[in-house]
Structure 1
Amino acid sequence: MTPEEHGRWNGTDSPLHETKFCAHCQRQRPIEEFARRRKGGDARQGWCRDCVNATRREAYSRAKGADRDNA
């Protein structure tokens, strides 16, 4: 499968226009919206930064609420 068929390139062979599919929000995003990963695959995280940040904020809020219930 070529990069164009896979949807990894935005209709051009230039890596400056590379996109990636976010596994969480199910949207095609510019590669710059994904954090770098040290190992594996395309060396980018599977979730975009917006999804990661939103999930971390929700987890923090839940944990903060649980601490208030235990106090």
Structure 2
Amino acid sequence: MTLLVAIGTVPAWHRDAACGDLGKLFARKAPNDVEAQRKVCAACPVRGRCRADAATKRKDQLPDLVVAGLTRAEHLGGGLVDAPRECTKCGKKKPLTEFVSKKRGKTGRSSMCKTCTNARQRAAYQARKTKSTTKGTTA
């Protein structure tokens, strides 16, 4: 599969892209190839447009290739997959895998870690449970 086949309709700015004639390189997924692809992207004059274009695509529209210097998994994760992220509730930095997946939003992940999300849901459940038992006793 060539890059042009993978990305579908090619925008006009892509003619200036560094990867334009390197379809075979960008069709491979070996670790050495991914690093070579990143080097090509790093020197690309239209990298910003490429990244903006990738950000507008749905998850299923992104090719499983390096686009704008990031792999598909990195685009979906909102940055480098292994990079720690800060929980908005507890403020601790945790790996991206510690955040609940979300279908909506820029990063595809919740802003709160799984621990804080679970604690919040338990507290809400207890509040509803307490409210329903106190309603039953006052009636």
TM-score (norm: length of structure 1): 0.72
Q: In the aligned structure 2, how far is the partner of 1:40 from the partner of 1:62?
A: 28
- Identity across aligned pairs (percent)? 26
Q: In the aligned structure 1, how far is the partner of 2:89 from the partner of 2:100?
A: 14
> Quick one: which of 103, 106, 109 aligns to 1:41?
106
Q: In the aligned structure 2, how far is the partner of 1:48 from the partner of 1:25?
A: 8
Q: Please list every run of at least 4 consecutive aligned residues from structure 1 whose deviation after the TM superposition is greater than 3 angstroms.
A: none
Larger Rg computed on CA atoms: 2
- Tell me the secondary structure at the aligned position of residue 35 of structure 1: strand
- Return the structure number with greater relative CO, CA threshold 8 A, min gap 6: 1
TM-aligned CA deviation for residue 19 of structure 1: 1.2
User: Which has more helix, going by share of residues?
Assistant: 2
Spell out, residue by residue over 1:2-53, the C-alpha distance to the aligned partner (whole angstroms, 9 max, x if none): xxxxxxxxxxxxx453211100101101110001111222211100000000
Aligned residues: 57
Does 2:118 correspond to 1:53?
yes
Letter matched to residue 40 of structure 1: G
Q: Note the aligned Cα RMSD (angstroms).
A: 1.2
TM-score (norm: length of structure 2): 0.39
Question: Which stretches in structure 2 are left out of the alignment for 5+ residues?
Answer: 1-79
> Quick one: which of 91, 99, 115 aligns to 1:26?
91
Q: In the aligned structure 2, how far is the partner of 1:68 from the partner of 1:39?
A: 35
Greater alpha carbon shift after TM alignment, 61-70 vs 38-47: 38-47
